[in-house]
């Protein structure tokens, strides 16, 4: 089994895709006006409209109602990204902080309120966990 993607159901797909394009520096691959993907080397962030969820069962997911998942991206320099994202991120949850498990991290919310973590492994143990 391979983990492939996380799909976010958005209230405004275009707005959320543009936000993540700016955060990640990636260009989205659009399948339809209601579904786009940002492909990274290790996984995909898919963004879809609420209308697409009806194919799985009405009400199975609700846009802008996530309170349990954190969307995480490993970056080269979290402090540099923190500076770069000033003005884009409306709700900063945590400024750059080095956490006990060795990652330096920032937390913020996307336009739909989803929690996003950008992090850089900084301790030897954290680097080893990710680089093997």
CATH number, position 126: 3.10.180.10
Across the range 42-71, mean pLDDT stands at 83
| pLDDT at position 52 | 82
Give 104-115 pLDDT, tens digit per residue.
Answer: 999 999 999 999
Sheet holding 103-109, edge to edge: 70-74, 115-121, 103-109, 91-98
Across the range 70-83, mean pLDDT stands at 97
pLDDT of residue 50 exceeding 90, the answer is no
Same domain for 128 and 75: yes
pLDDT of residue 59 exceeding 80, the answer is no
Same domain for 73 and 52: no
Same domain for 75 and 124: yes
**Can you give the CATH number for the domain in which 35 is found?**
3.30.720.120
**Which tokens hold the place of 88?**
């884009």
Last residue of a domain, one of 59, 80, 97: 59
Residue for token digits 């913020």?
108
In whole angstroms, give the CA distance from residue 34 to residue 32.
5
Across the range 6-35, mean pLDDT stands at 96
Question: What domain range is 128 assigned to?
Answer: 66-132
Same domain for 71 and 34: no
pLDDT of residue 56 exceeding 80, the answer is no
Same domain for 53 and 1: yes
């Amino acid at each position: 089994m391979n983990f492939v993607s996380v799909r976010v159901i958005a209230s405004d797909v275009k707005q959320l895709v543009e936000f993540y394009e700016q955060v990640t520096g990636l260009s989205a691959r659009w399948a339809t006006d209601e579904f786009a993907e940002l492909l990274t080397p290790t996984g995909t962030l898919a963004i879809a409209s609420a209308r697409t969820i009806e194919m799985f069962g009405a009400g199975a997911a609700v846009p802008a109602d996530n309170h349990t998942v954190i969307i995480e991206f490993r970056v080269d320099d979290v402090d540099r990204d923190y500076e770069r994202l000033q003005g884009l991120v409306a709700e900063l949850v945590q400024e750059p902080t080095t956490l006990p498990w060795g990652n330096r991290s920032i937390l913020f919310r996307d336009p739909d309120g989803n929690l996003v973590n950008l992090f850089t492994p900084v301790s030897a143990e954290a680097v080893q966990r990710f680089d093997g």
